[in-house]
């Protein structure tokens, strides 16, 4: 049995990068073979590293849960849970904080970037120890595979380092995970800045396609997408280095129509036509997802029920692993 685990932070709006870059691949993976046991978390405690007002994270958690199920995560096939519903995350995180060193955490590029951006503002200790909590997320479930974006590579590496060190100190206890990356083209770029990944921290909303955007807004964003000033019969071609904007549109259109970027490139000569076709393909792709989202977000009882099922399964697995870790250390049993 291969255990698969990945998570999303409930911060900001769900966007096309989440869907095409991650969730759609998770959905494709579930049920495809019965050898895979999938766990997908909503990591609300991670969001606290940058949260300072009440109510925000809880509301974002409900919203993200609705999107998870709307895109097709199936509670029968996957365990979908909220991190704070499983207290073992915080408990194993402490063990991981004592396993990782100050030096290692100081070298994490995400900490360096995020703390630099927050200069002069409050930088929580949690922002610094975040990798220990993420290591706990992964190691609690004995995850073999962790599907993540390239930006999370270093976090999965430090998780492995933590597991290796823990096992060396206390005996073979924790399973070493491996990061798995989405297929080429699954990385969705910002429509206004096609050399940067589409992300919640992007500077302008115009570059981000929110999953909840109405069709007109989606069309407008694609029509205004940044391309380049090439003209001529072969202006529409796939060349990520020389033509990042056009290539990104081709990637998105290919992903939405189950084709390849090279193949769809052959069907267009004008940027305007490519933008319209890509917008229309995404509108069509999102239509049923938005429909299910609207149903679910209006049915809080059903969402709570689904999350309770996942939470119970997650606690069972997590409880066993935490016990194993406590026993390996030789903490006095209660
Ligand atoms: N750090 C991840 C991100 O920002 C989210 C995350 C937290 C995660 N815990 C995880 C991803 C465990 C995979 C596995 O995207």
pLDDT tens digit sequence for 165-198: 999 999 999 999 999 998 877 789 999 999 999 9
Using pLDDT thresholds of 50, 70 and 90, give the confidence band for residue 51.
confident
Tell me which of 8, 61, 159 to substitute to probe ligand 1's pocket, judged by most ligand atoms within 8 Å of the beta carbon: 8
Mean pLDDT of 291-315: 97
Using pLDDT thresholds of 50, 70 and 90, give the confidence band for residue 205.
very high
Is 80 exceeded by the pLDDT of residue 26?
yes
- Side-chain-side CA neighbours of 129 within 13 Å: the count stands at 17
Residue 188: how many other CB atoms lie within 10 Å: 25
| Ligand 1 atom closest to Cα of residue 147 | 13
Residue 31, exposed/middle/buried by CB under 10 A (0-12, 13-18, 19+)?
middle
Long-range contacts of 49-56 (CB under 8 A, 24+ apart): 49/124, 49/126, 49/127, 49/130, 50/11, 50/124, 50/127, 51/11, 52/122
Distance between Cα 12 and ligand 1 center (Å) = 15
Contact between residue 140 and residue 317 where contact means Cβ atoms under 8 Å apart: yes
Its pTM stands at: 0.95
Residues in Cβ contact with 223 at an 8 Å cutoff, skipping those fewer than 6 apart: 272, 275, 276, 279
Farthest-apart Cα atoms in the chain, separation: 75
Contact between residue 236 and residue 271 where contact means Cβ atoms under 8 Å apart: yes
Beta bridge partners of 3: 37
Tell me which of 3, 4, 6 to substitute to probe ligand 1's pocket, judged by most ligand atoms within 8 Å of the beta carbon: 6
Using pLDDT thresholds of 50, 70 and 90, give the confidence band for residue 50.
confident
Cα–Cα distances (Å) from 69 to 11, 19, 62, in that order, read 17, 12, 11
Tell me which of 6, 43, 180 to substitute to probe ligand 1's pocket, judged by most ligand atoms within 8 Å of the beta carbon: 43
What is the share, in percent, of the chain residues with pLDDT greater than 70?
Answer: 99
Distance between Cα 43 and ligand 1 center (Å) = 7
| Ligand 1 atom closest to Cα of residue 149 | 15
Residues in Cβ contact with 233 at an 8 Å cutoff, skipping those fewer than 6 apart: 269
Choose, from 200, 221, 243, 313, the residue flagged as catalytic.
200
> What's the Rg (C-alpha) of the chain?
21
pLDDT at 187: 86
Distance between Cα 35 and ligand 1 center (Å) = 23
Choose, from 28, 112, 197, 275, the residue flagged as catalytic.
197
| Ligand 1 atom closest to Cα of residue 143 | 14
Is 200 known to be catalytic?
yes
Mean pLDDT of 63-88: 97
Which range has the worst mean pLDDT, 32-46, 73-87, 155-169? 32-46
Rounded Cα gap, residues 67 and 95, in angstroms:
32
Find the helix packing angle between 153-170 and 125-139, rounded to 10°. Answer: 70
Q: CB within 6 Å of ligand 1 — which residues? A: 5-7, 9, 43, 46, 134, 137-138, 146, 148, 152, 155
Helix (H, G, I), strand (E, B) or coil at 173: coil
């Amino acid at each position: 049995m291969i255990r698969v685990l990945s998570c999303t932070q409930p911060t900001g709006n769900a966007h096309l990068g989440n869907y095409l870059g991650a969730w759609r691949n998770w959905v494709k993976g579930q049920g495809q073979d019965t050898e895979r046991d999938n766990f997908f978390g909503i990591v609300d405690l991670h969001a606290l590293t940058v949260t300072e007002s009440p109510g925000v994270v809880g509301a974002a958690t409900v919203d993200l849960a609705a999107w998870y199920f709307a895109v097709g995560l199936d509670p029968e096939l996957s365990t979908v849970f909220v991190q704070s519903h499983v207290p073992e995350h915080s408990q194993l995180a402490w063990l991981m904080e004592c396993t990782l060193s100050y030096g290692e955490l100081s070298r994490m590029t995400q900490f360096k970037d995020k703390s630099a951006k927050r200069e002069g503002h409050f930088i929580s200790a949690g922002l610094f120890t975040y990798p220990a909590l993420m290591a706990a997320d992964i190691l609690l479930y004995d995850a073999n595979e962790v599907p993540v974006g390239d930006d999370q590579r270093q976090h999965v590496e430090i998780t492995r380092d933590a597991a290796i060190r823990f096992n060396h100190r206390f005996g073979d206890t924790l399973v070493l995970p491996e990061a798995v990356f989405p297929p080429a083209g699954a990385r969705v770029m910002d429509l206004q800045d096609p050399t940067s990944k589409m992300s919640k921290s992007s500077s302008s909303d115009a570059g981000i396609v929110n999953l909840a955007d109405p069709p007109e807004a989606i069309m407008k964003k694609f029509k205004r997408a940044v391309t380049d000033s090439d003209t001529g019969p072969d202006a529409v071609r796939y060349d990520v280095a020389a033509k990042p904007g056009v290539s990104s549109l081709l990637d998105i259109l290919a992903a939405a129509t189950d084709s390849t970027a090279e193949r769809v490139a052959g069907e267009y000569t004008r940027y305007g036509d490519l933008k319209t076709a890509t917008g229309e393909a995404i509108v069509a792709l999102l239509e049923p997802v938005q429909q299910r989202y609207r149903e679910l977000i209006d049915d809080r009882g059903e969402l709570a029920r689904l999350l309770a099922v996942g939470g119970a399964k997650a606690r069972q697995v997590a409880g066993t692993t935490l016990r194993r870790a406590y026993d390996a250390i030789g903490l006095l049993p209660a």
